[in-house]
Chain A
Amino acid sequence: MTAAEPLVKTKGLTKYFTSRRSLVAKLVARQKDHLIKAVDDVNLDIYPGETLGLVGESGCGKTTLGRTLIKLYEPTSGEIFYRNQLVHELKGRELIAFRKEAQIIFQNPYASLNPRKTVRDIISVPLRTRGLREPRIIEEEILNLLQRVGLSPRHIDNYPHQFSGGQRQRIGVARALALQPNFIVADEPVSALDVSVQAQIINLLEELQEEFQLTYLFITHDLSVVHYISDRIAVMYLGHIVETAPTITLFERPLHPYTQALLSAIPSVDKGFRRKRIILEGTVPTPLDPPPGCRFHTRCFAKLGDVCTRVTPSLVEVEDNHFVACHHFK
């Protein structure tokens, strides 16, 4: 896989949000605007045809990273390359072409579909963007897409509220597919669904990947799902990528203490997988004012000492394709 050129590549990608203080707070208490360091210095490669799983706890910046990659947010600094083109320099026709290629499936199927539009309206917009004009052809294509994602043609004039959560997520998938994309950011696509329905959507995404040679960035906090669907996994903690490795390697030999704790904390029905639980102290610090040095040092059980609190470790390749950002590995 390393031989291929990455489809998406980031260099030092950083996204900060500003949380503004009120004028009173600024003048009276001399408080400054806060910076929320959602994504900080991320270097990531995503190869064509692979599924990269992005895992981490809530607030660690996974969604922000996904959205920045497809230019829903402007990065604060750093670069994103898509097919070796700098994404933030794309303009006009090139930008539209990029938008067609890079699509997103949102987490919450209840909030990501306009409640006042029918399925026909929702899916015909991207089809028109693709250049289809003839109403007959558009309808035909909508029916094709519905059938492909497992919805019946009679659903075409229904509104989102008439569907269950799983069906709504299928509409979201159809909408993304309508543009014939190459790269899809799937942002927690199954978290809002019941277990028995989750599996339907996961299998659908896998089939579509095979059929259309899609590349996925699969964002989730569910480690059993990410294990199932991903070829490679990146673990994120407070805006930093702390470890990336092929799925099997990561589950067999997690190296970063955070990854070890995360994996050990998954409750599983699977006796073969159960391991001694590492219980982390404390909670995830806020990204408003992340700890200096290694961001994980406040909860780490394998802290080396001063170096962890002062120096931010960078990703090093420990074995083939297995990268860790931890002072234990040099």
Chain B
Amino acid sequence: MLVIKNLSTHFPTERGLVKAVNNVSLSLATGEILGLVGESGCGKSMTLLSILRLIPFPGKIVGGEVFFRGSNLLEKKPAEMRALRGQDIAMVFQDPMTTLNPVFKVGEQIGESLRIHGAMGKESFRRRYGDNKKIAEKERVLELMKEVGIPSVDERYHEYPHQFSGGMQQRALIAIALSCNPQLLLADEPTTALDVTIQAQILSLLEQINREHGTGIILVTHDLGVAAEFCQRIAVMYAGSLVEVGPTDVVIGEPRHPYTIGLLRSIPKISSKKEKIKPIYGNVPDLAGLAGGCPFAPRCEVVKDACYSEDIPMRQISDDHQVRCLNVPGHSV
């Protein structure tokens, strides 16, 4: 359904060019849940924003292609993109407090996307909710609020965002995203601002949406645990590049890239008490002025001279498992 080829997004800054998204190739099948995992500043969110062409100034998509149902999004006119955003591809952002507008009622905000995309004028919509646009909109909004699990919707419809808890705000955002039945849902750290028990609620809601509507989901998260439990495939990102892509069991169970291995070793395991955690040496690099070669090389345990000089290609090591590392044999993609 979604195929990203060699996507690059760069930010010119005073300190040098930041390659926030560097030659990223990824695909998502219909109804699939893909986890995009990495640490802060590795370019996960920028990858999502690049798909929707919402890169903030001074960033720019400098190359690549993003095919959504066969057509290249990067070649579309701005008006075509506007029609697509929220309708076919919807996004859920990380911080619900700052995403909702504090001065509008939650119900109105959920209905906004329906109004913008003229949903109420559509034949199928009219047959279901009637001809009166106002009533139809409210009907649909109440239905959405119920679907995402907001209790006492009749009162909640008229409340403002500050009257909602964090988890409820996130549900409202998901309701906005779902309003036009998108085929693709981009979720940028949707549970990071939430407590564990609320996180479990939101994740199971997303799972249910995926199951019932067949919505494809790209879930950006820094939490490998969330990705492992929730996604069918995982893509690991480091300093703007994808370093490993594969089915969840493979990436978590038999990781091949030294960064993925290091990341997994640095998380305490619960089933085996006192298996010593091993941190990755050093810090996440500054993306400005990153030299060529493998960006992970300075922190890598199995680094070779060639790692610093060559650009490392993504290699196919089995049918559905790709790794970008000179130490892992495989044929180039």
| A305 contact set on B, CB distance < 8 A | none
B270 touches A194 (CB 8 A): no
Min C-beta distance of A140 to chain B, whole Å: 27
B252 touches A224 (CB 8 A): no
Q: B25 an interface residue at 8 Å Cβ cutoff?
A: no
Bound: A58/B195 CA distance, A: 7
Bound: A135/B223 CA distance, A: 45
Bound: A228/B277 CA distance, A: 9
Bound: A270/B267 CA distance, A: 10
Q: B3 an interface residue at 8 Å Cβ cutoff?
A: no
Bound: A58/B167 CA distance, A: 12
Bound: A58/B24 CA distance, A: 36
| B253 contact set on A, CB distance < 8 A | 271
Q: Give the residue of B267, B277, B279 whose beta carbon is less than 8 angstroms from that of A269.
A: B267
Residue among A195, A270, A280 with max Cβ neighbours from chain B (10 Å): A195
| A274 contact set on B, CB distance < 8 A | 229
Q: What residue in chain B is nearest A228 (Cβ atoms)? A: B268
Bound: A229/B200 CA distance, A: 24
Q: B271 an interface residue at 8 Å Cβ cutoff?
A: yes
A273 touches B271 (CB 8 A): yes
- Number of A-B contacts defined by CB within 8 Å: 127
Q: Give the residue of B166, B204, B230, B263 whose beta carbon is less than 8 angstroms from that of A196.
A: B263
Bound: A221/B262 CA distance, A: 23
B273 touches A272 (CB 8 A): no
Bound: A272/B228 CA distance, A: 13
| B299 contact set on A, CB distance < 8 A | 196
Binds B, one of A30-38, A126-134, A259-267: A259-267
Binds B, one of A19-27, A75-83, A198-206: A198-206
Q: B101 an interface residue at 8 Å Cβ cutoff?
A: no
B229 touches A268 (CB 8 A): yes
B269 touches A273 (CB 8 A): yes
Residue among B199, B226, B262, B267 with max Cβ neighbours from chain A (10 Å): B267
Q: Give the residue of B39, B165, B201, B252 whose beta carbon is less than 8 angstroms from that of A195.
A: B39
B196 touches A224 (CB 8 A): no
Q: B2 an interface residue at 8 Å Cβ cutoff?
A: no
Q: A164 an interface residue at 8 Å Cβ cutoff?
A: yes
A224 touches B225 (CB 8 A): yes
| B283 contact set on A, CB distance < 8 A | 164, 166-167, 197
| A202 contact set on B, CB distance < 8 A | 268, 277, 279
Q: A284 an interface residue at 8 Å Cβ cutoff?
A: yes
| B269 contact set on A, CB distance < 8 A | 224, 269-270, 272-273
Q: B99 an interface residue at 8 Å Cβ cutoff?
A: no
Q: Give the residue of B165, B264, B270 whose beta carbon is less than 8 angstroms from that of A224.
A: B270
B224 touches A269 (CB 8 A): yes
Bound: A228/B40 CA distance, A: 23
Q: What residue in chain A is nearest B168 (Cβ atoms)? A: A283
B229 touches A284 (CB 8 A): no
Residue among B225, B264, B272, B274 with max Cβ neighbours from chain A (10 Å): B225
A194 touches B40 (CB 8 A): yes
B39 touches A196 (CB 8 A): yes
A224 touches B267 (CB 8 A): yes
Q: Type the 1/0 row for B275-289, where 1 means its CB is closer than 8 Å to any CB of A.
A: 001111001100000
Bound: A58/B199 CA distance, A: 12
Min C-beta distance of B217 to chain A, whole Å: 15
Q: What residue in chain B is nearest A226 (Cβ atoms)? A: B268
Bound: A264/B203 CA distance, A: 13
Bound: A128/B285 CA distance, A: 36
Bound: A53/B104 CA distance, A: 42
Q: Which residues of A from 77 to 121 have beta carbons under 8 Å from B? A: none
Bound: A200/B67 CA distance, A: 41
Q: Which residues of A from 254 to 298 have beta carbons under 8 Å from B? A: 261-262, 264-274, 277, 279-280, 283-284
Q: Type the 1/0 row for A47-65, where 1 means its CB is closer than 8 Å to any CB of B.
A: 0000000000110000000
| Known pairs A228-B277, A251-B270, A272-B272 / 16 extra A-B pairs, C-beta < 8 Å | A57-B195, A164-B284, A167-B283, A196-B279, A196-B280, A229-B268, A247-B273, A264-B200, A269-B224, A269-B267, A271-B271, A272-B270, A277-B204, A279-B200, A283-B167, A284-B195
Q: Which 10 A-B pairs have the closest CB atoms?
A: A272-B271, A228-B268, A199-B279, A199-B266, A267-B225, A57-B195, A196-B280, A265-B200, A200-B279, A194-B39
* Interface CB pairs A-B, < 8 A, 20: A166-B283, A194-B284, A195-B263, A196-B39, A197-B280, A199-B277, A202-B279, A223-B196, A224-B268, A227-B273, A261-B197, A268-B270, A269-B267, A272-B270, A273-B270, A274-B229, A279-B204, A280-B197, A280-B200, A283-B166
